Amino acid sequence: MSARIIDGKAIAADLRARVGEAVKTLPGQPALAVVIVGDDPASQVYVRSKVKETAAAGMRSLHVELPVDTPEADVVARVKALSDDPAIDGILVQLPLPAHIDAQRVLDAIDPDKDVDGLTDAGAGRLALGRPGLRPCTPYGCVILAKSTGEKLAGKNVVVLGRSILVGRPAAMLFLLEDCTVTIAHSKTRDLAGLCRTADILVPAIGRPHFVQGDWVREGAMVLDVGINRVPAPEKGEGKTRLVGDVDYEPAAERAGWITPVPGGVGPMTIACLLRNTVLAACVRRGWKTPAL
Ligand code: GUN
C-alpha cells in the first residue's frame, strides 16, 4: 500500500480563509497578543508568522518582544496586564521561555478565557474534564487532519508518542473526546515498536528525527507526524539543512493508509487553529454569536 497524503498546508489555508470570512461578520475586531522572551531564532520565525497571519485574517495583533534577561516577575506582570486589558481577546506566550523563567508561573498569569494555547491550569482542566474551552492548537490541528480523511474516529486505537504539555497530553485528551482508545507512550514505555503496530492512528510528537521506523507502522494506519526537526542536508550543499518529522517517511508511507508530510502536514495547522481560537475567545468574552468554524 502507498499512503494517501494528508495535505495540512491546504487544510490550514482553508481554515485560515474561513476564519478570515468569519471575522468579517463579527461586530468588532478580535485582538491577539503574542509574547516572546529572548531571541531564539526558531521561536522568532514562528512568532512573526503568528503575528502576520493574525493580521491577514483581519484581526488585530500585538507583538510583545522582551529581552532574554527580562526578570520572571516582569514577564508575569506584562502578561497580567494583557489579561486585564479589555481590548485583548487572546494571549499566547511563546515557549520555551529562557531557563531563568518558570513557564508555569507565566502561564498562570494568563486569563483562562484568553488562553488561546489552552495551556493554563484551567484550559488543560477543561480539556481533561471534557468541558467546552479553548484547545491547544497543534493537537487540535491533528484532530482536524484526522477528520479530513473521512475516516470514522470513534473506536480507533490511537498511540501518541510523547507526553509534553504542548502536544502529547492534550492530543491524547482530544482523541479521547473523539471516542478513540488512547495510549500515551514515552521514554520509559516497553516495546515501543510493538505498541506502535497496534495503532490505527499514530501521533509521534517527540522531536527526534526519523525515530519511528517504517515497520512500526501498521498496514493501512494513519500517521500524523508532529515532529519538526532540522537536520543536515549535504545533498543540498555544504552547511544546508532540511526539515524532517519524527517518522522515517518513505518506508512509513509504504505501509500507512494516510500520512502527513513534513513540512506541510501538522505544522501549518498550529497557526490556523490559533486564529480560530482567537475568534472563539473574542466571541465568548464579548458575548458575540460564535461562528461555526
Ligand atoms: N512553541 C512551539 N509551539 C508552540 C505553541 O503552539 N505554542 C506556544 N506557546 N509555544 C510553542
CA distances from 108 to 35, 68, 93, 101 (A): 14, 20, 11, 13
Quick one: pLDDT at residue 291?
97
What's the 159 CA to ligand 1 centre distance in angstroms?
22
**Residues annotated as part of the active site:** 50, 94, 117
Same fold: 25-115 with 136-267 = yes
Domain edges within the chain: 25-115, 136-267
Residues with CB under 6 A from ligand 1: 92-95, 117, 137-138, 166, 270
Q: Which CATH number describes the domain made up of 25-115?
A: 3.40.50.10860
What's the 51 CA to ligand 1 centre distance in angstroms?
13
Q: Report helix, strand or coil for 251.
A: helix
For ligand 1, atom 11: residue with the closest CA: 95
Q: What is the pLDDT of residues 169-192, one digit of tens each?
A: 999 999 999 999 999 999 999 999
pTM over 0.95: yes
The pLDDT profile of the chain, 293 residues, written as one tens digit per residue, is 699 999 999 999 999 999 999 999 999 999 999 999 999 999 999 999 999 999 999 999 999 999 999 999 999 999 999 999 999 999 999 999 999 999 999 999 999 999 999 999 999 999 999 999 999 999 999 999 999 999 999 999 999 999 999 999 999 999 999 999 999 999 999 999 999 999 999 999 999 999 999 999 999 999 999 999 999 999 999 999 999 999 999 999 999 999 999 999 999 999 999 999 999 999 999 999 999 99
Report the distance separating Cα 247 and Cα 125, nearest Å.
30
Question: Ligand 1: which of 53, 91, 117, 165 to mutate, judged by most atoms within 8 Å of the beta carbon?
Answer: 117
What's the 271 CA to ligand 1 centre distance in angstroms?
10
Q: Which CATH number describes the domain made up of 136-267?
A: 3.40.50.720
What's the 166 CA to ligand 1 centre distance in angstroms?
7
Report the distance separating Cα 150 and Cα 79, nearest Å.
40
For ligand 1, atom 9: residue with the closest CA: 94
26: its cell numbers? 463579527
Helices (H), strands (E): how many in the chain?
A: 10, 11
Quick one: pLDDT at residue 73?
98
Residue 155 makes CB contacts below 8 A (sequence gap 6+) with: 179, 180, 181
Inter-helix orientation angle 267-286/137-148, to 10°: 110
Atom of ligand 1 nearest to the CA of 270: 6
Report the distance separating Cα 166 and Cα 137, nearest Å.
9
Report the distance separating Cα 183 and Cα 2, nearest Å.
26
Quick one: pLDDT at residue 1?
63
DSSP state for residue 97 in the 8-state scheme: P
